[in-house]
Amino acid sequence: MEFPHFSTKERILGAAEELFARNGFAGASLRELTSAAKVNLAAVNYHFGSKDNLVNEVFRRRLDELSAQRLDALAQVLATAQPSLEDLLAAFIHPALALSLDKSGGATFVRVLARAYAEHNERLRKFLSENYGHVLKEFASAFGAQLPHLDKEELYWRIDIIAGALTYAMADFGVIKRRSSMSEQVHRERAAEHLIRFAAAGLRA
């Protein structure tokens, strides 16, 4: 349901997001993709050069803003007198939650993000690490300052677990299906609450 008044590039990005989330990067073919976007098959290579670069651009479109929001929220928390662990976690999680509630494909993109975690795609990992790795680094050092009782190794273990759990929860993986009576928004907000409480307790343990 990509509306025809969007530009060709936007329709391709939207359809790519949808199909990457559903079928993975290798599993989504350009013919399927261009057909869903209602554009010519050659349009992907014309506008994006290659399928690989289209994948990059799908991430760039969302991650630029998500990373900026996370860093903003982090800076805001660090500026307060007594930042709590929950505040730091919220600075990381709430922007992703907001993204997942975005009307135009945000929830879909979060599923794409989880795919990227799961696929050990070397090319994609390099792209993400080069362009957005500094965000994770800043959060790691903020957590470290809050948890002096943890040595570096333990801290990294726990952050790793949290990042994985966050990805899964946000992407709606696993066995849980929300009650149909509950709206998507309430569903995800509760997920974030649970995750923050859960993660803070685990980090302090």
Partner DNA sequence: CTATCATTCAAACGCTTGTTTGGTTTTTCG
Partner DNA sequence: CGAAAAACCAAACAAGCGTTTGAATGATAG
Binding test (CB under 7 A) with DNA, winner from 10, 24, 32, 138: 32
3-state SS string over 34-47? HHHCCCCCCHHHHH
Residues 39-78 that bind DNA (CB under 7 A): 39-47, 50-52
Among the residue ranges 35-43, 76-84, 97-105, 120-128, the one whose residues contact DNA (CB under 7 A): 35-43
Residues 73-112 that bind a copy of itself (CB under 8 A): 111
- Provide the CA 111 distance to its chain's centre, in angstroms: 7
Binding test (CB under 8 A) with a copy of itself, winner from 52, 119, 151, 184: 119
**Residue 132 makes contact with a copy of itself by CB under 8 A:** no
Q: Which is nearer to a copy of itself, 11 or 115 (CB)?
A: 115
CB half-sphere exposure, 125, CA atoms < 13 A:
6
**Residue 13 makes contact with DNA by CB under 7 A:** no
Residue 15 C-beta: closest distance to DNA, Å: 13
Q: Which is nearer to a copy of itself, 60 or 158 (CB)?
A: 158
Q: Please state, in angstroms and rounded to a whole number, the distance separating the CA atoms of residues 117 and 161.
A: 12
Exposure b/e, 103-139, CB count within 10 A at least 16 = b: eebbbbbbbbbbbbeeeebeebeebbeeebeebbeeb
Q: Please state, in angstroms and rounded to a whole number, the distance separating the CA atoms of residues 95 and 66.
A: 6
Task: Give which of 10, 15, 9 is closest to 37, Cα–Cα.
Answer: 15
**Residue 39 makes contact with a copy of itself by CB under 8 A:** no
Q: Please state, in angstroms and rounded to a whole number, the distance separating the CA atoms of residues 170 and 155.
A: 22
> Using CB under 8 A as the criterion, which residues of the chain lie in contact with a copy of itself when the complex forms?
21-22, 24, 26-27, 111, 114-115, 117-120, 136, 153-154, 156-165, 167-169, 173-176, 179, 190-191, 194-195, 197-205
> Using CB under 7 A as the criterion, which residues of the chain lie in contact with DNA when the complex forms?
7-8, 28-32, 39-47, 50-52
